[in-house]
Amino acid sequence: MIIYNDSDLQKIVFSAIIIKVSSVVKKFGSIAEFSIKHNFSGVTNGNLLITAEMNSPPYRLEEFVEKVLIPNGFINELDYVFIEEMLTKGVKGEVSELINEPHPHCKNINWLQSIIVQDGNFVWFSEPSLNDFERDSNFRLYKNLLYHEEEKIKLNPRIIKIDETYVHYTVSDNKMRYKIHRDALWYNELKYGKSIFSK
């Protein structure tokens, strides 16, 4: 069964596989046909198709890739990627050094972005045509909203313009516009070092 979750940001748990929906549609016609034909259950937002298992390594998912995805021309990191949930706290309560950073398994995937925050590991689809600045802008806006305005992150924020002072964005493709000062997103870590306020 496929569950639809209308959120750009998807939470990753356990050992997960993320499949690009456009690749599924190209090879199988639709997510529904793919799901029925191969008894595949997961969550989709229309861009990403995600499922997970509680084993590491995920033997069932690896077998699925070997028997279904690879024979149908899917390529690792181009059409799908495996991601392990990263813990945000150690056994003694220490905070992980990965907090506020992209997930290490997503760093070289041009269609996927990610962030690890105290509440968990999150991923979102990223248009491969975006340049590094545009990808970084999305990352920083999402990070800020996850910490300070979580209700907006659930409404799928979209950057519409960046000027010399503000990052302008909308939510849920609404006509209502919001802005946030660029300095709130681009704290100069190279100049000042890591800020205690960015954690």
pLDDT in tens, 122-150: 999 999 999 888 999 999 999 999 988 88
Residue 11 near residue 120 (C-beta atoms within 8 A) = yes
- 195 has pLDDT over 80: no
Give the model confidence (pLDDT) of 92-118 as tens digits: 766 678 888 999 999 889 999 999 998
- Per-residue pLDDT at 199: 40
Please determine, for residue 197, whether its predicted confidence score (pLDDT) is greater than 50.
Answer: no
- Give residue 190's pLDDT band: very low, low, confident or very high (50, 70, 90): low
Q: Give residue 91's pLDDT.
A: 67
pLDDT tens readout for residues 9-19: 999 999 999 99
Q: Tens digit of pLDDT for each residue in 12-63?
A: 999 999 999 999 999 999 999 999 999 999 999 999 999 999 988 899 999 9
Task: Provide the pairing of β-strand 166-171 with 177-181.
Answer: antiparallel
What are 164-173's pLDDT values in tens digits?
A: 889 999 998 7
Q: Which two tokens stand for residue 146?
A: 């996850």
List own/partner pairs for 93-100 with CB under 8 A and 24 or more apart. 95/199, 99/199, 100/143, 100/198, 100/199
Tokens of 99: 């907090």
- pLDDT at residue 107, rounded to an integer: 85
Reading the block at residue 61, the tokens are 């998912």
Listed in sequence order, the residues at least 6 apart from 122 whose beta carbon sits closer than 8 Å to its beta carbon are 9, 10, 11, 12, 114, 115, 116, 142, 146
- The residue written with tokens 């690792």 in the block is 76
CA–CA separation, 177 and 8 (whole Å): 18
The predicted-structure confidence for 63-87, as pLDDT tens digits, reads as follows 999 999 999 999 999 999 999 999 8
